[in-house]
């Protein structure tokens, strides 16, 4: 065996040695950082988030002189050149009312991302609580809770969202306007949409958490903790949840794109975000309305659709990367 | 025995769902006659409400509804006068089912081979290309791909009709639009399933006893590798449904999805309840079938 091979062997041994001293979470982060598509996607998403967060700032502040005029249109500003193709003034063209598509996309992407994040947050809370309780309590309670999940799984959840929104929208708006401010009342539909989308997307999360908790609660360290007098709440918080949080992060990341998608479906059907607010799905449906055989306004569809597709792709890459790094089942 | 019990269990479940749907739509603000073109006088309105029993308490209404349901009658539509919900279902359901089934087959037909090959060529370029394509499919939802397909294939090239339903040519674009997202999803599940199976010991055994690779992959590994796809088929059907609402509205296909969405807007109570119930029962039955298929493919699975 040559010297080079020996030293390589020694190196890999040393590497294996240090890896054993890393916690599973540290190992997972290492694995994630080696995943190039996931890193590129994270960077892309970071840029997108920065853009949509900073855009309203530079648009309205004195900084607006520093950026090209094309980047400073208001999403509600009407001009007298509707349906103009991409040009130096409007980089991505204008829509039926002469509004700048680029600014509409910034605005829409912001709402789509917020919908995804908040919806995923709501589904996280419900799913983790439901799954943890079912898995930990076990027995008959577990059986009933999981049958409910099974039944909900095979019902078209879109109906629940629609019913929820139709049912409580008016009361919710009145309550918001009365308790907080009329301005917030105007956002009632959007807030309800967040809650509704989260409330129908927790099923997978509940199943995964329940499976993990079921296997964790028979472990010795849980028995040890219980024999030392710890209560259910403490065991769940201190011993069980820290052990499932890796998988929870993974599935939250994968829930975000599916909720963004769901919202765009609802908007497309006219059940989601309503003007003057706009999400990416709403922009696409506005473009789809203008399809006619005489003249194709392709920029109204292609750009928002491209941005939506790209965002979903990046989110999925990140989610996959996280899962490969965290989920023990995908380890070789 | 187990499946017989599940089948019997469907009856109370359908009852619960019908009652919940019934109660929910009645709780929604507004009634079916609020948006009449000519605002009805109070007397006319009263008469109309009496005709549809809307002035009676909820439970009485539900009881009448159940009586009709036992006879297979989903009641009259409150918006499309002269039409019963049964009429609409009879007319729209075959269309929706055709679309759903062809998209289901498209998703399986594209997704399973794609996932299979990416798993077999794991870590080599066919895997990377194939997996990327699958992920790409996964990220082009119906409302992105639908308008693009229409613009390109229907308007620019003129190969397919732009919208509506009727000839076999009408089916193709909606099928691709609806199915492509799910084919990506199935490819990913298939790849995962195949990869776990290919690591299993019985595959090594099969190879060790000298079986050729094709037989190992197709006869031994495929059978277990496809299980994640089979178990996803249940939720897939529910997802196809949500997608079909969008696809039906993009291509203006006269299926029942459009009627359901519209009935929610127009507060056409009987229509909403009837269609929700129809969808729920359809899905429950299909899920039962999926579970049955599951036991046939993998005899190790036993339901108590």
Q: In the predicted model, is pLDDT for residue A1 greater than 50?
A: no
- Measured between CB atoms, which of B25, B144, B155 is closest to A308? B144
- pLDDT tens digits for range A97-112: 777 778 888 888 888 8
Inter-chain contact A288–B146, Cβ cutoff 8 Å?
yes
How is chain B split into domains, by residue range? 93-297
- pLDDT tens digits for range B61-74: 778 777 777 777 77
Residues A274, A173 contacting (CB under 8 angstroms): no
Q: For residue A94, report the phi and psi dihedrals to the nearest 5 degrees.
A: -130, 165
User: Of A107, A156, A124, A157, which is closest to residue A281 (Cα–Cα)?
Assistant: A107
Residues of A whose CB is below 8 A from B242: 156-158, 262, 265
A81 occurs within a structural domain: no
Inter-chain contact B141–A154, Cβ cutoff 8 Å?
no
**Full 3-state SS string of A279-313:** CHHHHHHHHHHCCCCCCCCHHHHHHHHHHHHHHHH
pLDDT computed for residue B10 by the predictor: 80
More confident residue, B290 or A96: B290
- pLDDT tens digits for range A267-304: 877 777 777 778 888 888 777 777 666 677 777 778 88
Q: Distance between alpha carbon B66 and the CA centroid of its chain, in Å? A: 25
Least confident of A16-20, B17-21, B122-126, B292-296: A16-20
- Choose the most confident range, by mean pLDDT, from A169-183, B29-43, B194-208: B194-208
A131 occurs within a structural domain: yes
Q: In the predicted model, is pLDDT for residue A125 greater than 80?
A: yes
Inter-chain contact A167–B156, Cβ cutoff 8 Å?
no
Inter-chain contact B283–A159, Cβ cutoff 8 Å?
no
Note whether B148 contacts A: Cβ–Cβ < 8 A: yes
Give pTM, 2 decimals.
0.78
Residues B251, B178 contacting (CB under 8 angstroms): no
Mean pLDDT on A181-186? 68
Note whether B13 contacts A: Cβ–Cβ < 8 A: yes
- Tokens linked to B183: 């084919």
pLDDT computed for residue A257 by the predictor: 85
Inter-chain contact B279–A156, Cβ cutoff 8 Å?
yes
Note whether A317 contacts B: Cβ–Cβ < 8 A: yes
How far apart CA B3 and CA A171 sit, in angstroms, is 44
Tell me chain B's radius of gyration from C-alpha atoms. Answer: 24
- Measured between CB atoms, which of A154, A271, A296 is closest to B287? A154
Can you say whether the dihedral through the CA atoms of A123, A128, A129, A133 is positive or negative? positive
Note whether A168 contacts B: Cβ–Cβ < 8 A: no
Band of pLDDT at residue A186, cut at 50, 70 and 90 = low
Q: In the predicted model, is pLDDT for residue A6 greater than 70?
A: no
Q: For tokens 């509804």, what's the residue?
A: B65
Residues B180, B140 contacting (CB under 8 angstroms): yes
Which residue range(s) make up the domain with A159?
24-56+99-330
| B 122-141: CB under 8 A from A | 135-136, 138-141
- Nearest chain A residue to B147 by CA: give it: A288
pLDDT computed for residue B4 by the predictor: 81
| A 100-119: CB under 8 A from B | none
pLDDT computed for residue A63 by the predictor: 65
Band of pLDDT at residue A332, cut at 50, 70 and 90 = very low
**Full 3-state SS string of B47-102:** HHHHHCCCCCCHHHHHHHHHHHHHCCCCCECCCCCCCEHHHHHHHHHHHHHHHHHH
> What's the distance, Cα to Cα, between the start and end of chain B in Å?
9
Band of pLDDT at residue A177, cut at 50, 70 and 90 = confident
Interface test with A, best of B154, B232, B242, B277 (most A CBs within 10 A): B242
How far apart CA A173 and CA A194 sit, in angstroms, is 14
Compute the nearest-CA separation of A289 from chain B (Å).
9
User: Of A224, A257, A252, A254, which is closest to residue A238 (Cα–Cα)?
Assistant: A224
Compute the nearest-CA separation of B29 from chain A (Å).
7
How far apart CA B174 and CA B145 sit, in angstroms, is 10
Number of structural domains chain A divides into: 1
Can you say whether the dihedral through the CA atoms of A123, A247, A309, A46 is positive or negative? positive
Inter-chain contact B151–A291, Cβ cutoff 8 Å?
yes
Q: Helix, strand or coil for residue A100?
A: strand
* Cα angle B8, B13, B15; round to 5: 110
How far apart CA A59 and CA A70 sit, in angstroms, is 10
Note whether A285 contacts B: Cβ–Cβ < 8 A: yes
- Measured between CB atoms, which of B139, B143, B155 is closest to A285? B143
How far apart CA A231 and CA A155 sit, in angstroms, is 36
With a pLDDT cut of 90, the percent of chain A lying above it is 2
A265 occurs within a structural domain: yes
Domain at A311, CATH number? 1.10.3720.10
A51 occurs within a structural domain: yes
Residues A84, A70 contacting (CB under 8 angstroms): no
Residues of A whose CB is below 8 A from B29: 166-167, 170
What is the DSSP secondary-structure string of A3-63? HHHHHHHHHHHHHHHHHTTS-HHHHHHHHHHT-HHHHHHHHHHHHHHHHHHHHHHHHHSGG
Least confident of A234-238, B40-44, B118-122: B40-44
Inter-chain contact A287–B238, Cβ cutoff 8 Å?
no
How far apart CA A305 and CA A229 sit, in angstroms, is 56
**Right CATH number for B93-297 from 1.10.3720.10, 3.40.50.2300, 3.40.190.10, 1.10.10.10?**
1.10.3720.10
Q: In the predicted model, is pLDDT for residue A16 greater than 60?
A: no
A210 occurs within a structural domain: yes
Inter-chain contact A291–B147, Cβ cutoff 8 Å?
yes
Note whether B279 contacts A: Cβ–Cβ < 8 A: yes
Q: For tokens 């229509």, what's the residue?
A: B271
Burial label for B137, CB within 10 Å (0-12, 13-18, 19+), is buried
Least confident of A1-10, A33-42, A145-154, B21-30: A1-10
How far apart CA B78 and CA B104 sit, in angstroms, is 33
Residues of A whose CB is below 8 A from B138: 312, 316
A1 occurs within a structural domain: no
| B 167-186: CB under 8 A from A | none
Residues B105, B237 contacting (CB under 8 angstroms): no
ipTM: 0.74
Compute the nearest-CA separation of B109 from chain A (Å).
23
């Amino acid at each position: 065996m040559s010297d080079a091979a020996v030293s390589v062997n020694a190196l890999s041994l040393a590497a294996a040695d240090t890896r054993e001293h890393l916690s599973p979470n540290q190992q997972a982060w290492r694995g994630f950082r080696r995943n190039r598509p996931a890193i590129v996607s994270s960077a892309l998403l970071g840029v997108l988030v920065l853009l949509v967060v900073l855009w309203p700032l530079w648009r309205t502040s004195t900084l607006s002189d520093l950026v090209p005029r094309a980047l400073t249109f208001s999403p509600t500003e009407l001009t007298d050149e509707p349906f103009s193709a991409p040009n130096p003034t409007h980089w991505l063209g204008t829509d039926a009312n002469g509004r700048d598509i680029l600014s509409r996309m910034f605005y829409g992407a912001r709402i789509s991302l917020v919908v995804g994040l908040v919806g995923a947050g709501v589904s996280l809370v419900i799913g983790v609580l439901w799954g943890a309780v079912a898995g930990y309590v076990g027995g008959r309670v577990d059986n009933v809770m999981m049958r409910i999940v099974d039944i909900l799984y095979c019902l078209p959840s879109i109906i629940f969202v629609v019913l929820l929104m139709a049912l409580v929208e008016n009361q919710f708006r009145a309550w918001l306007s009365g308790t907080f401010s009329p301005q917030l009342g105007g956002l009632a539909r959007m807030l309800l949409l967040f809650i509704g989308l989260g409330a129908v997307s927790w099923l997978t999360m509940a199943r995964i958490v329940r499976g993990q908790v079921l296997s964790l609660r028979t472990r010795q360290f849980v028995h040890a903790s219980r024999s030392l007098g710890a209560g259910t709440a403490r065991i769940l918080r201190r011993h069980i949840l820290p052990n499932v949080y890796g998988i929870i992060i993974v599935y939250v990341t994968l829930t975000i794109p599916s909720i963004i998608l769901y919202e765009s479906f609802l908007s497309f059907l006219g059940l989601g975000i309503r003007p003057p607010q706009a999400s990416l799905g709403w922009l696409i449906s506005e473009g789809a309305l203008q399809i006619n055989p005489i003249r194709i306004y392709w920029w109204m569809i292609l750009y928002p659709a491209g941005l939506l597709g790209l965002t979903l792709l990046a989110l999925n890459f990140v989610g996959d990367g996280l899962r490969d790094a965290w989920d023990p089942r995908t380890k070789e | 025995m187990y499946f017989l019990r599940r089948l019997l269990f469907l009856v109370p479940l359908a009852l619960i769902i019908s009652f919940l749907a019934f109660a929910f739509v009645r709780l929604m603000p507004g009634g079916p006659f609020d948006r009449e073109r000519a605002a009805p006088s109070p007397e006319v309105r009263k008469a109309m409400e009496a005709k549809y029993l809307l002035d009676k308490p909820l439970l009485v209404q539900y009881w009448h509804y159940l009586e009709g349901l036992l006879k297979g009658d989903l009641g009259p539509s409150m918006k499309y006068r002269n039409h019963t919900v049964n009429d609409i279902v009879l007319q729209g359901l075959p269309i929706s089912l055709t679309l759903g089934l062809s998209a289901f087959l498209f998703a399986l037909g594209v997704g399973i081979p794609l996932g299979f090959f990416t798993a077999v060529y794991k870590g080599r370029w066919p895997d990377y290309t194939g997996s990327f394509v699958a992920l790409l499919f996964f990220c082009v939802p119906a409302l992105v791909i639908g308008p693009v397909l229409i613009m390109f294939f229907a308007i620019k090239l003129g190969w397919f009709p732009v919208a509506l339903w009727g000839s076999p040519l009408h089916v193709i674009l909606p099928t691709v639009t609806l199915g492509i997202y799910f084919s990506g999803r199935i490819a990913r599940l298939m790849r995962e399933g195949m990869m776990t199976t290919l690591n299993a010991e019985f595959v090594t055994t099969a190879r060790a006893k000298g079986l050729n690779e094709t037989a190992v992959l197709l006869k031994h590994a495929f059978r277990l590798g496809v299980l994640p796809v089979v178990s996803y088929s249940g939720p897939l059907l529910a997802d196809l449904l949500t997608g079909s609402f969008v696809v039906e509205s993009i291509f203006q296909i006269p299926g029942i999805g459009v009627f359901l969405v519209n009935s929610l807007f127009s507060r056409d109570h009987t229509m909403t309840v009837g269609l929700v119930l129809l969808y729920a029962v359809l899905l429950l039955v299909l899920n039962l079938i999926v579970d049955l298929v599951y036991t046939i493919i993998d005899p190790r699975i036993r339901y108590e």
